[in-house]
A and B are shown apart, each in its own frame.
Chain A
Amino acid sequence: MRRRYTLASFGRFYLALMLLFLYLPIVVMALMSFNSSPFYRLPIDWSLTWYSALAQNSRLIDAGLNSLWVALATTGLATVLGTAASLAFFRYDFKGKKVLQLLLFPPIAIPWLIIGTSMLVFFFWVGIGRGLHAMVLGHVALAIPYVIIVVSARLRSFDPHLEEAARSLGATSWQTTWRVTLPWTAPGLVAAALFAFAVSFDQFVISYFLSTPGVSTLPVEIYTAIRKGFTPEINAVSTIIIAISMALLLGVARFYRFGGER
């Protein structure tokens, strides 16, 4: 018992250290976004200076909106395409299925720098060029494997007899998918969509390669801004993003638990 107690206290210490390591930089950044001093002077002089400055910064706001649209488009496209692919993998046996499934993993492992470079070269070669449309294409390609992996994991515990039962009751293949398979897969779909959104919204390297001067996404714009000289507006925008994504994640975590129940 004693032994267990020491282990538990060590474990608690370790956990605290991990959380500190993960969240301290974020907390510092959030606090500093409310400090009117641009030099991180303490004690904090509470103000919303940087948030009002941010409201005036049309470059950051445009970049933020670009990020949002690209991420939403990516989420929509990657989730639909990836889910369709997962359903195909789930339902049918075909030649080359194993190879196709294996080919899903390398894009996750290949450094983004290399993928970004090859996309840039390829997009120029076929005439797609750079811009938001190219970013969406790149992000969708990047997000699809994640979607397939998450949705397939959910489908693995789906009873194929349910689809057969629906068909035997007169449901067409489409009705079966829509009314039986997808409702059951919904928690996986939400998680996959979130993944796709995150893959796109966080994406820096590929977006950097595919952005055109004047039209960029938030990570690219933040990077450019920092290079020119750091302003606490960046803290403000980062704090907003973190707050939104935290809220989103917590919401999804709740939904996932409810939906996961059979």
Chain B
Amino acid sequence: MAQVTLHEVSKVFGRLKALDRVSIQFEDGEFYALLGPSGSGKTTLLRMIAGFEILDSGRITIAGEPVEDKPVEKREIGMVFQNYALFPNMNVFDNVAFGLSVRGTGAAETKRRVGESLELVQLVGLDQRKPHQLSGGQKQRVALARALVTRPRVLLLDEPLGALDKALRVEMQIELKRIQRNVAITTIFVTHDQEEALTLSDRIGILNNGRLVQEGSPHEIYERPTSAFTARFLGDANLLRGTVRNGFVELADGTRLSSAMPPGAEGTPVVCAVRAEKILLESAGGEALGQGENELPARVISHIFAGSSLTYLVGWRDETLKVHVQNRGFEVIPEGAAVRLSWPTGDTVVVQP
């Protein structure tokens, strides 16, 4: 359990900048998700903290101690791999005991700690099973127990839920969070699944093209994205281009958008992000569409039914916008119908293009 810091960490693979001066401070006991599309460098970053990749420049410290030159086995980490990487020649007990056994821990102590660890992940009575006799969720628990039994200073998770089906994934998310709270270990979690990151973590760091784009609490990152990339990567955001005029953002058709934060200097071109579920969609009927602030006239192009919600694709000028509507049994607005889109001031978020 310790603080982990990355300072200006860079890594180049051939001509590709895998990581470009990334600095992150992982707080003691926090659950931090590294989120990004594939190729964003998130896995490289995790493998670097583990010691599987050598960094080109920068510093990594665990509990204040520099570890760049330490081999993996001296870093006192616990790691869970996407495919679990359970040792196929060992049963559950021996898999979990491995980390203790290579340290020369005595038989009684090993037995006690393996038992504790398996109890923690709620996997009791399967000691003698071989990995190929376990279900995906059970393998996941063994992998977690094995990583935690040595009481590592930091727990690294590389897309640990990626191989599970949806129902099991949700169950394991809850489990993972419970276990992490229970042992209060600094946990760094790599995922490309935004929902998983939002659900599990205390803080999220968004990576794109080897750079840390934004970091903050799930709420902050979702509600206040600072870049068009973050806005689009997390959830469904509509991006509207405009220019700053008199403290408003003026769109191409003259519509004024007001935002909670000042949009920037007069005359600068900006992009506004509006989340698809924040938009109120009303049937405009035959009446003329009044154009107020944060209000757009549009036409329904089509809709996608997703059970609990409906997504309307609507056309405004030559752009297609997305609007999420809760399924409360309203009648579906037909294609081609004129609609009015509106949203509160606070939901216009000015982002970097």
Contact A184 B89 (CB under 8 A): yes
**Smallest CB separation, A161 vs chain B (Å):** 4
Most buried by B among A167, A172, A183: A167
Contact B89 A171 (CB under 8 A): no
Most buried by B among A159, A164, A165, A262: A165
Query: Complex Cα distance A179/B26, Å?
Result: 33
CB contact between B73 and one of A159, A161, A167 (< 8 Å): that residue = A167
Contact A159 B150 (CB under 8 A): no
Q: Which residues of B contact A43 (CB under 8 A)?
A: none
Query: Complex Cα distance A159/B87, Å?
Result: 10
Query: Complex Cα distance A171/B100, Å?
Result: 10
CB contact between B102 and one of A164, A172, A184 (< 8 Å): that residue = A172
**Smallest CB separation, B161 vs chain A (Å):** 16
Contact B89 A168 (CB under 8 A): no
**Smallest CB separation, B17 vs chain A (Å):** 20
Check A184/B88 contact, CB under 8 A, given A164-B52, A168-B77, A262-B132.
yes
CB contact between A169 and one of B83, B98, B132, B156 (< 8 Å): that residue = B98
**Smallest CB separation, B158 vs chain A (Å):** 9
CB contact between A164 and one of B81, B103, B150 (< 8 Å): that residue = B81
Q: Which residues of A contact B146 (CB under 8 A)?
A: 165, 169
Q: Which residues of B contact A161 (CB under 8 A)?
A: 81, 83, 85
Check A162/B73 contact, CB under 8 A, given A168-B79, A169-B146, A170-B99.
no
**Smallest CB separation, B5 vs chain A (Å):** 20
Q: Which residues of A contact B83 (CB under 8 A)?
A: 159, 161
Indicate if A30 sits at the interface (CB-CB under 8 A). Answer: no
Indicate if B281 sits at the interface (CB-CB under 8 A). Answer: no
Query: Complex Cα distance A89/B99, Å?
Result: 27
Contact A183 B89 (CB under 8 A): yes
Contact B99 A169 (CB under 8 A): yes
Check A172/B73 contact, CB under 8 A, given A164-B52, A165-B79.
yes
Beyond A168-B77, A183-B89, 8 additional pairs, beta carbon < 8 A? A161-B81, A161-B83, A168-B147, A169-B146, A170-B76, A171-B99, A171-B102, A184-B88
In order of increasing CB-CB distance, the 5 nearest A-B pairs are: A169-B99, A161-B85, A165-B85, A168-B79, A167-B72
- The residues of B with any CB-CB pair to A shorter than 8 Å are 50-52, 71-73, 76-79, 81, 83, 85-89, 98-99, 102-103, 132, 146-147, 150, 156
- The residues of A with any CB-CB pair to B shorter than 8 Å are 159, 161-162, 164-172, 175, 179-180, 183-184, 262
